[in-house]
Amino acid sequence: MKHQPYEFWLFERKTLSSDEARDLEDHLTTCDNCRALANAWTNIEDQILSASLVAPLPGFTQRWRSRLADHRRRTHQRQMSAVLFTTALGLVGLAFLFGTELLPLFQPAIPTLMVWGSKVANLVANLHLFRMIMGILLDASIDSIPLVYRVSLPLSLAGLATLWVVSINRFRYRRIRKE
Amino acid sequence: MGERANDSEWIHRAKQGDDDAFAKLVEVYQVPVFNLCYRMLGNPSEAEDAAQETFLRAYRGLSRYDPKRRFATWLLSIASHHCIDRLRRRRYPIQSLDELLPWQQKSDDTPGPEAALTVKEEQETVREILEHLGDQDRVALILRYWYDLSYEEIAQCLSISVSAVKSRLHRSRRYLAEQWMVRKSVAVGASGRCDEASAL
Ligand SMILES: [Zn+2]
């Protein structure tokens, strides 16, 4: 028995024209094979059509907002990393390209830079030494100095320092006005 | 799930960068999108993640949305592709199909104990059969029966031709019907044997 197009139509019953539907019904009364298939499909289709939509847990939109914020933060971090990486790569590239040409320009300055570097290192070491010596001297002498001197000495030193700063300032402004 | 009157206004505002407007769209379409992910992936937590990802992709791709298309169809298209990608990556069988199938949901007309047993058996049979449908065939079937999409809309959703949709649906439906018949005949044979045994 010829089952086409009925075998196709039996799954599309809602879209058939009235003539097609009648032809299909005629075929189904005579063909056990197609009738069994049609019945089986009707059973399955009924169950599918009786199902409703499944909803997510409450608060879905709020969770989406959090996800969006998280996505933005990660995108921003990625962009920053990309910018930094590109800059570093560019600098390395530039150094590689122009390094050989720029090196002779800096070469005369290298001894001067090294001298200044050692001077700064010396200064730092000296300051550290000075602080150490002063600390030892103060610790040793603090008990032998009478209380009056212990108060008046720092005060007079502070006064002298103020006087010094003020006079320097006045001198500087007078010079500016004269000019 | 037709287009709502406010949708185009919200879409327009969301395109201008208004997050609240897009949140309204999320509120409206969360159920259809979640349902599709759930039916495809068969796992609520994975479905939640896939639905969230769908909305994020829609948000990022909103400038590419063609207003001539239904917004819902566009969203379902994103969700379908995303779920198929996930299933492809997964490479192992669906973990829990218990809740995948719609006929496991409670219906309003609850059958009696005997009828309930029959319905449960039938649902179990269909569940097992549907599990063996390919991802592409399953998504076409879901879009057709849960969302009532036309063949043209399904074709647009899955980026395939209308004839491909028709052949996929026909193949799925025929397969489901045939498997149903096989299970039924096995069940009838088994119950027949039981009856004979009890008669002896
Ligand atoms: Zn036939």
Q: State residue B197's pLDDT score.
A: 46
State ipTM: 0.76
* pLDDT at A76 (0 to 100): 93
The long-range contacts involving A29-32, CB below 8 angstroms and separated by at least 24 positions, are A30/A1, A31/A1, A31/A3, A31/A6
Provide, rounded to the nearest whole percent, the portion of chain B with pLDDT above 70: 70
Q: Is residue A37 part of a domain?
A: yes
Q: For residue B143, what pLDDT band results from cuts at 50, 70 and 90?
A: very high
Measured between CA atoms, the residue of chain A closest to residue B44 is A56
Phi, psi of B93 (to 5 degrees): -60, 155
Is A33 part of a structural domain of the chain? yes
Query: Is A131 within the bounds of a domain?
Result: no
pLDDT 10s per residue in chain A (179 long)? 788 889 999 998 888 999 999 999 999 999 999 999 999 999 888 888 877 788 999 999 999 999 999 999 999 999 999 999 999 998 888 887 777 777 777 778 888 889 999 999 999 999 999 888 888 887 777 667 777 877 888 889 999 999 988 887 776 655 544 44
Tell me how crowded residue B136 is: count the other CB atoms within 10 A of its CB: 17
- Across the interface, whether the CB atoms of B145 and A8 are under 8 A apart is answered no
pLDDT for the residue B117: 57
- The answer to whether the Cβ–Cβ distance between A55 and B35 falls below 8 Å is yes
Nearest CA in chain B to A42: B177
The yes-or-no verdict on residue B125 having pLDDT over 80 is: no
**Inter-chain CB proximity B31 and A56 less than 8 Å:** yes
Q: How is residue A9 written in tokens?
A: 């139509």
Please state, as a whole number, how many other Cβ atoms lie within 10 Å of the Cβ of residue B61.
11
What are the Cα distances from residue B193, in Å, to B32, B190, B196, B197, B198?
Answer: 45, 5, 5, 6, 9
What letter does residue A58 receive in the DSSP assignment? S
A103: in domain: no
Interior angle at CA B36, CA B35 and CA B40, nearest 5: 115
Q: Which residue has the higher pLDDT, B191 or B13?
A: B13
Cβ–Cβ under 8 Å, residues B155 and B162: yes
The span from the CA of A155 to the CA of A141, in Å, is 18
Q: Cα of B60 to ligand 1 centre, how many Å?
A: 51
CA A24/CA A54 separation, integer angstroms = 35
Give chain B's mean pLDDT: 80
Neighbours of ion ligand 1 (CB under 5 A): A 3, 31, 33-34
Angle (CA) A33-A37-A41 rounded to 5° is 170
> Using the beta-carbon criterion (under 8 Å), do A54 and B32 form an inter-chain contact?
no
CA-CA distances (angstroms) from residue A133 to A138, B21, B52, B93?
9, 72, 69, 79
pLDDT at A149: 77
Asked whether residue A174 is assigned to any structural domain, the reply reads no
Distance CA B61, CA B12 (A): 13
Q: Kindly list the residues from chain A whose CB atom is less than 8 angstroms away from the CB atom of residue B122.
A: 43, 47
Could you tell me the distance, in angstroms and rounded to a whole number, from the CA of residue A31 to the centre of ligand 1?
Answer: 5
Residue B176 sits at the chain A interface (C-beta within 8 Å): yes
Q: Hey, are the CB atoms on A68 and B38 less than 8 Å from each other?
A: no
Query: Nearest 5°: phi and psi at A43?
Result: -60, -50
Q: Domain span at residue A13? A: 4-50
Distance CA B178, CA B171 (A): 10
Q: How many domains does chain A have?
A: 1
Which of B10, B35, B46, B154 to probe by mutation at the A interface, max A CB count within 10 Å?
A: B35
Stated pTM of the model: 0.66
Q: Which two tokens stand for residue B50?
A: 């896939």
Residue B140 and residue B154 in contact, taking contact as beta carbons nearer than 8 Å: yes
Chain B, nearest residue to A54 by Cα: B35
- Contact at CB, B102 and A51, closer than 8 angstroms: yes
Distance in angstroms (rounded) separating the CA atoms of residues B80 and B139: 7
pLDDT of residue A177: 46
Pair A11, B173: CB distance under 8 Å: yes
pLDDT at B99 over 70: no
Distance from CA of A7 to the nearest CA of B (A): 9
Instruction: For residues A39 and B180, give the distance between their C-alpha atoms in angstroms, rounded to a whole number.
Output: 10
CATH number of B7-199: 1.10.1740.10
Q: Count CA within 13 A, CB hemisphere, residue B60.
A: 12
Q: How many CB atoms lie within 10 A of CB A13?
A: 15
